[in-house]
Amino acid sequence: MKPPCGSSGRDCGVWWGKMHKGTTRPIEMDEVKLLLEKIRLINSKYEKELQAIRFEFNIFSVLNLESDEVNLHSRFLFEFLNPKGSHFQRDYFLDILLKQIGILKFELKNVSVKREYHNIDILITNSQMQAIIIENKIYAGDQLQQLERYHRIIEDKGYKDIEIVYLTLYGDEPSDESRGKLSSNVIKTISYKDDIVAWLNHSLKAETLKPAIREILIQYQSLIKKLTGQYFPEEYIMEIKELLIDEKNIEVAVVLSQAVVEAKIDIQFAFWQELERGLKEAGYKIIDYQKYSKDLVRKYYTSRRNNRYYGIMFELVSNLGDSSKLLFFVELGSYIYYGFTILKDNRRNIVKLPQYDYLAEIVKAVNADFKRDEWWIGKKDPARKYDFETFDSPDVFALANPSRRAECANELVDEIKKLVNDFSHEYGNRVPPG
C-alpha cells in the first residue's frame, strides 16, 4: 500500500509504516504519541529504581568477568553442577537443572563432572554410561564440526546414551557447520535467559544454603538478567503490560516494535560506517573477511539463527612467515569487542598453535586485559560497552544522534590506534625485520 501525502507515510498525522499481519488500518500519529507519553510517565515513576538497578554493585562486573565465557560462566556452572563441589549440596543443583531442561532419565549415581575434557566445556557422566555434553556459548562462535566431534569422542569412550546441551544467552541454534552430521534431535538448545535464570530461582529455595553461596547465586542471577536484558523491576514491567492490554494500544505497540527493529538496524549500520570511515582515515586497510553489511545487520535483529560475529578487520602484519596474517578485528557478538587475531587459508581457529605464543606475549604486554582463546591472540572489551543485542544502555542510545555517533566512533578509533601503535612498538622491539 502506497502511503498518501508524501513518501514518508508520516504526513497528515497518519503513520502507515510497514503493515504487520492483522493490521487493518493506518496508525494515527496521535495514538503513537499518546502511548509513548503514557510509557514516559511510567518511566518517570520508576526512574530512581531503574537507575539504582543499572548501577547496582555486582562482584562479577567489578572483576570485569561479565562476558568471560571460560573463566566465569563455564567455571561457575562446573562448580555448582558438580556433586563434589565446594557448595556441599551434593547433586542438588545438577538435579534441578536436568529437570528444568527436560533431561529426566539421567541417573544421578556415581556422577562425574569434568571441565575442558577434550575441549568440551562441561562433561557429565555416570556409571550407567550416560553422558551429557554442555557446550557453553556466551559470545564465541561455533567451530567446524565441533558438536559432531565432541559426540564422536564420547561415543568412542563407550557411552551409548549421549545428550548434547547447547547453551547460549537466548537459546540460539548451533550452526550447520558445528552440528555436522548430527541429527538435531540429539541436540537440546537452552538459554541463559530462561533456563539458567529459572535454575537459579529454584536453586535459591534450598534452606541449607550457606549465606555466602546464596549471595553468589543472587549476584550471578543479577548478572545473567543484565546480560539478557531482564533487569527491570517486575512492577514496572507489569504496569506497562497493563497499559498494552488494550485493543488500540497493543496494535500501536506492535507497529512500534517493527519500527524499533528498523531503527536498530539503521543505527547499528550507521555506527559501522562511521567506524570504518575513521579507521580508513587513520590509514588502516580494511579487508572483506567477516565484514559487516546491511544484510548482516538486518539478520542480526530479524533471524532466529545465530547471526553474529561480523565487524571490521584490518591487516597489521601481512605475512608471519607461514602465509598467515596478523589482523586487528572489531567484532560484534552481543556487544562490541576487539583484539588481535590470525588468518590463514580463511581460518582463524589456529591462534592457539605454539608458533603464535610470542604474539600472545606481546599482546599481553600491551594490555594485561587481553585474553587469548581459540579465535583470538588477545581479545578485550572497549572502554565503552556497545551492547547492540539488548540495546538498553545510554551508550547505545547515544548512537541514535548522528553527532554523538561520530564522537563515539572517533573515540573508539583513537582507542584502537593507541593499542595498535603500542603493539607495533613492542613487535618491532622483539621481532627482527625481514
Q: Is residue 23 scored above 90 in pLDDT?
A: no
pLDDT band, residue 6 (cuts 50/70/90): very low
* Separation CA 312–CA 310 (nearest Å): 7
Range from 48-62, 248-262, 321-335, 403-417 carrying the lowest mean pLDDT = 48-62
pLDDT at position 52: 67
Q: Is residue 122 scored above 50 in pLDDT?
A: yes
**Interval 123-153: pLDDT, tens:** 999 999 999 999 998 877 777 789 999 999 9
**Interval 177-194: pLDDT, tens:** 888 889 878 899 999 999
Phi, psi dihedral angles at 280 (to 5 degrees): -65, -40
**Interval 369-411: pLDDT, tens:** 999 988 999 999 999 989 898 888 889 999 999 999 999 999 9
pLDDT at position 53: 65
Write the CB contacts of 21 (distance below 8 Å, at least 6 apart in sequence).
none
**Interval 370-379: pLDDT, tens:** 999 889 999 9
pLDDT band, residue 85 (cuts 50/70/90): very high
Report the percent of the chain where pLDDT is more than 90: 55
pLDDT band, residue 69 (cuts 50/70/90): confident
Average pLDDT, the chain: 87
pLDDT band, residue 420 (cuts 50/70/90): very high
Q: Is residue 40 scored above 70 in pLDDT?
A: yes
Among 406, 387, 407, which residue's Cα sits nearest to residue 396?
Answer: 387
Q: Whole-model pTM?
A: 0.66
For 91-100, what is the mean pLDDT?
A: 96
Cell numbers of 91, please? 547433586
Q: What is each CA distance from 133 to 4, 8, 113, 115, in whole angstroms?
A: 57, 52, 10, 10
**Interval 235-288: pLDDT, tens:** 888 888 888 888 888 888 888 888 899 999 999 999 999 999 999 999 999 999
Report the percent of the chain where pLDDT is more than 70: 90
Q: Is residue 3 scored above 50 in pLDDT?
A: no
Which of 32-46, 91-105, 217-231 has maximum average pLDDT? 91-105
pLDDT at position 16: 41
